C-alpha cells in the first residue's frame, strides 16, 4: 500500500489500511488538531503515521502535488472541494470529497409526531447546527403539519443555550463570529423577503458567536435560505401537500448528502427512500454517522465515501498478478 494523504477527514480508515496520514486541520481548531496528534502518539502509533500540519492554502497545493502523496480527501465547503479537486485532478491524484449539505427531514402523514419532533430537534440543533448532514430542511405532510410545528417549536424554544461544558446545556456558540454573521445575513434576507420567524431569528446579545435557536417558515425560492446551506441553529420548515410534493421538494437542491424519513409505515418509508436524490437515508432516527457505515453524498455534496468498507476501499490500490500455465 502506498502513501496517502487525508485532509481534514476521519483518519481511522487510512490508518487501518496501513497508509500514513498528513492532516491539515481547519484553521479554527489548531489546538484540538494537535491534541488528536498527541492521542495517536500516546496510543503507540509509529512515528510519522499521523502528522498534523500547519500550512497555508498555497503550501497545501504544493503538498497535494508532491509525488509522494497518493490521494487527498477533504471534508469542507463546496468552494474548498472544488479547489482541492482541481489541484488533485491536475496531478492525477485520487480524491474523496465530503462537502456541504442541505439535508431534508421528511415527516410523512404516517409518522409518530412526538418522535419526529424529538429527532428533528437533535438532528437540526445538535453541535449548534454545525454538521454537514444536519436536518436542515424539515418537510412535513399537510395532515400532521400543525401538530408537528406546535411540538417542534415548543421543543426548540425550550433549548438551553450556554456554556457547552455544563451538563444541562443543549447548544453552545457557533465556531466563529464570521459564521454567526453569515448565518444572520441568510436569515435576515429570508425575513426581508417575507419568511416567518416561528422562534428565534437573531444573534444573542452577549459576547461571543451566539445565535438563537431559530425556526423559519414560508421560505421561497427567491430567498438565500432556500438554496444555500444554513450552517448553524436555523431550521426551515415546509408544508408538503402530498408525498410526491415532499419528494420533489426534498430533491430540489444542488446538494445530495443525506436525508431522514419519519414514518410508521415501513414499506412506504423504504419506497420514499429509494426516490430521494441523496447518498444516505436514515429512517425513524436523527441523522448521524457510525464507523461501520459508509458516509458521503452525490451532486455538489461531493464524491466518494468515508468510513466503513467503502471508505477503506477508497485509498487502497488493487493489483492484479496473474501467472500463466
Side by side, the strands of the sheet bearing 135-141 are: 196-199, 214-217, 234-240, 135-141, 103-107, 260-262, 282-283
How many helices (DSSP H) and strands (DSSP E) are in the chain?
Answer: 11, 14
DSSP class of residue 45?
P
Q: How far is CA 140 from CA 125, 153, 226, 238, 263, in A?
A: 18, 13, 16, 6, 11
- Note whether 246 and 141 are within 8 A (CB): yes
Q: Give catalytic status of residue 98 as yes or no.
A: yes
Is the separation of the CB atoms in 319 and 2 below 8 Å? no
Contacts of 141 (CB under 8 A, 6+ apart): 107, 108, 109, 111, 240, 243, 246
Does 132 qualify as catalytic in the annotation?
yes
CA 51 to chain CA mean position, Å: 25
Residue 165 class from Cβ within 10 Å (0-12 exposed, 13-18 middle, 19+ buried)? Answer: exposed
Which of the residues 5, 37, 98, 306 is marked catalytic? 98
Annotated catalytic residue within 4, 5, 132, 229: 132
Question: Taking the CA of residue 101 as centre, how many other CA atoms within 13 Å lie in the half-sphere pointing to its CB?
Answer: 32
Q: Are 132 and 140 in contact (CB under 8 A)?
A: no
The residues assigned a catalytic role are: 98, 132
Amino acid at each position: 500500500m502506498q502513501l496517502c494523504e487525508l485532509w481534514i477527514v476521519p483518519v481511522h480508515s487510512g490508518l487501518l489500511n496501513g497508509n500514513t496520514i498528513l492532516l491539515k486541520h481547519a484553521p479554527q481548531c489548531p489546538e484540538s488538531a494537535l491534541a488528536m496528534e498527541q492521542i495517536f502518539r500516546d496510543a503507540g502509533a509509529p512515528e510519522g503515521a499521523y502528522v498534523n500540519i500547519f500550512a497555508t492554502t498555497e503550501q497545501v497545493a504544493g503538498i497535494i502535488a508532491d509525488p509522494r502523496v497518493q490521494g487527498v480527501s477533504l471534508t469542507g465547503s463546496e468552494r474548498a472541494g472544488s479547489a482541492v479537486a482541481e489541484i488533485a485532478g491536475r496531478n492525477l491524484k485520487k480524491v474523496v470529497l465530503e462537502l456541504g449539505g442541505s439535508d431534508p427531514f421528511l415527516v410523512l402523514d404516517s409518522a409518530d409526531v412526538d418522535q419526529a419532533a424529538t429527532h428533528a430537534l437533535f438532528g437540526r440543533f445538535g453541535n449548534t447546527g454545525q454538521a454537514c448532514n444536519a436536518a436542515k430542511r424539515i418537510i412535513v405532510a399537510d395532515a400532521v403539519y400543525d401538530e408537528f410545528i406546535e411540538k417542534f417549536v415548543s421543543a426548540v424554544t425550550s433549548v438551553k443555550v450556554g456554556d457547552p461544558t455544563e451538563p444541562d446545556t443543549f447548544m453552545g456558540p457557533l465556531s466563529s463570529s464570521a459564521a454567526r454573521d453569515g448565518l444572520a445575513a441568510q436569515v435576515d434576507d429570508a425575513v426581508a423577503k417575507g419568511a416567518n420567524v416561528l422562534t428565534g431569528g437573531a444573534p444573542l446579545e452577549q459576547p461571543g458567536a451566539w445565535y438563537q435557536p431559530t425556526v423559519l417558515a414560508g421560505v421561497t425560492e427567491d430567498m438565500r435560505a432556500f438554496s444555500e446551506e444554513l450552517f448553524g441553529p436555523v431550521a426551515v420548515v415546509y408544508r408538503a401537500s402530498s408525498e410526491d410534493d415532499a419528494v420533489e421538494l426534498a430533491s430540489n437542491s444542488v446538494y445530495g448528502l443525506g436525508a431522514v424519513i419519519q414514518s410508521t409505515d415501513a414499506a412506504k418509508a423504504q419506497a420514499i427512500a429509494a426516490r430521494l436524490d441523496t447518498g444516505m437515508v436514515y429512517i425513524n432516527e436523527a441523522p448521524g454517522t457510525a464507523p461501520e457505515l459508509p458516509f458521503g453524498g452525490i451532486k455538489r455534496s461531493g464524491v466518494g465515501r468515508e468510513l466503513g468498507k467503502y471508505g477503506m476501499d477508497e485509498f487502497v490500490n488493487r493489483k492484479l498478478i496473474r501467472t500463466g500455465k
